[in-house]
């Protein structure tokens, strides 16, 4: 799994460097490079593994793989802003609004979101139909029915008196984290014109397991390993899987969800082993 992640990281880093080269050296361009540097590239891994599963060439798959990383980076830049989570560090580096300013951070996020759609719809991806399907499904995953909805629910959960139950936390995380995971896992099927349903089911379970493990890291991890602040949820009195289930219960639920994710891949037999490894990695990582 480590080799697969490193491979995805190298491919995405190289492609982002190529894509961002024409943007010049202004503040927004430099902040875009800063915001897209580093990270696990787990979403890109899902795109590339899904593409291989469906016989899609890496030269085509790298475009949506980079697109989802640009979209994810945009969400982090905005999520870190003082009006949202107000974080000073991300991936072990200063957040964009700290390194530059809030105006630059807002514009950088806007530019990365636009770039994500440009990359998903690039002619190298495939036919006009495939590119339109990827762009449309990405818009839905990232927007007010997906990630943005999850972010809004997350912010509402921090208001005084808000007390979410497990079902509500699950719905929140299905948007905030799960929607982009589902798009990533289904990308190869969409490019091949195949049924994405098994991969969407896989990613829905894997994404929730990933988020539960994030909650575990927020309690048990340290800022140096995580590359960002930890302990913020407990300090804010925010309901999480850990606060409601306890650490053993949260870990058990994450493991059960990984089993569900692997079951969803049974239609692909051994060919889906890379995706199974990604699901197991989701609950074994330290950051």
In a domain, 264, yes or no: yes
Q: Residue 55 domain-assigned?
A: yes
Q: Does 67 reside within a domain?
A: yes
Mean pLDDT value across residues 195-204: 97
pLDDT of residue 228: 59
- Over residues 165-180, the pLDDT tens digits come to 899 999 999 999 999 9
* 12 within some domain: yes
Domain with 165, as residue range(s), is 2-282
pLDDT of residue 270: 97
Q: In the structure, what pLDDT confidence band is assigned to residue 231 with cuts at 50, 70 and 90?
A: low
Mean pLDDT of 208-228: 81
Q: Any idea what the CATH number is for the domain that residue 167 is in?
A: 1.10.600.10
User: Who wins on pLDDT, 214 or 70?
Assistant: 70
Average pLDDT, the chain: 93
Give domain status of residue 169, yes or no: yes
Q: How far apart are CA 66 and CA 13, in angstroms?
A: 9
Residue 25 in any domain: the answer is: yes
287 domain residue, yes or no: no
Instruction: Read off the pLDDT band of 155 (50, 70, 90).
Output: confident
On the question of pLDDT at 230 being above 80, the answer is no
24-48 pLDDT, tens digit each: 999 999 999 999 999 999 999 999 9
Give how many domains the chain has, as a whole number: 1
Residue 236 has pLDDT above 70, yes or no: no
Is 171 inside a domain boundary?
yes
């Amino acid at each position: 799994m480590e080799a697969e992640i490193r491979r995805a990281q190298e491919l995405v880093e190289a492609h982002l460097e190529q894509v961002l080269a024409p943007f010049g050296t202004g503040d927004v361009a430099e902040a875009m490079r800063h915001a897209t540097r580093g990270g696990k590239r787990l979403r890109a891994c899902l795109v590339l593994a899904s593409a291989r599963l469906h016989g899609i060439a890496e030269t085509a798959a790298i475009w949506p793989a980079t697109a989802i990383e640009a979209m994810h980076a945009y969400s982090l830049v905005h999520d870190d802003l003082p009006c949202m989570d107000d974080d000073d560090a991300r991936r072990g580096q200063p957040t964009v609004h700290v390194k530059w300013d809030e105006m630059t951070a807002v514009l950088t996020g806007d530019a990365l979101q636009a770039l994500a759609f440009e990359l998903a719809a690039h002619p190298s991806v495939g036919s006009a139909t495939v590119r339109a399907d990827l762009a449309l499904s990405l818009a839905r995953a990232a927007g007010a029915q997906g990630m943005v909805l999850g972010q809004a629910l997350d912010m509402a959960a921090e208001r005084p008196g808000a007390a979410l139950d497990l079902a509500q936390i699950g719905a929140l995380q299905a948007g905030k984290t799960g929607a982009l995971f589902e798009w990533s896992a289904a990308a190869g099927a969409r490019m091949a014109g195949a049924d994405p349903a098994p991969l969407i089911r896989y990613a829905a379970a894997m994404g929730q397991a990933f988020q539960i493990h994030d909650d575990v890291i927020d309690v048990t991890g340290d800022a140096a390993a995580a590359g960002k602040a930890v302990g913020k949820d407990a300090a804010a009195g925010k309901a999480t899987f850990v606060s409601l289930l306890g650490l053993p219960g949260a870990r058990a639920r994450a493991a059960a969800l990984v089993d569900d994710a692997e079951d969803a891949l049974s239609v692909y037999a051994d060919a889906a082993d890379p995706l199974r490894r990604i699901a197991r990695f989701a609950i074994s990582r330290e950051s």
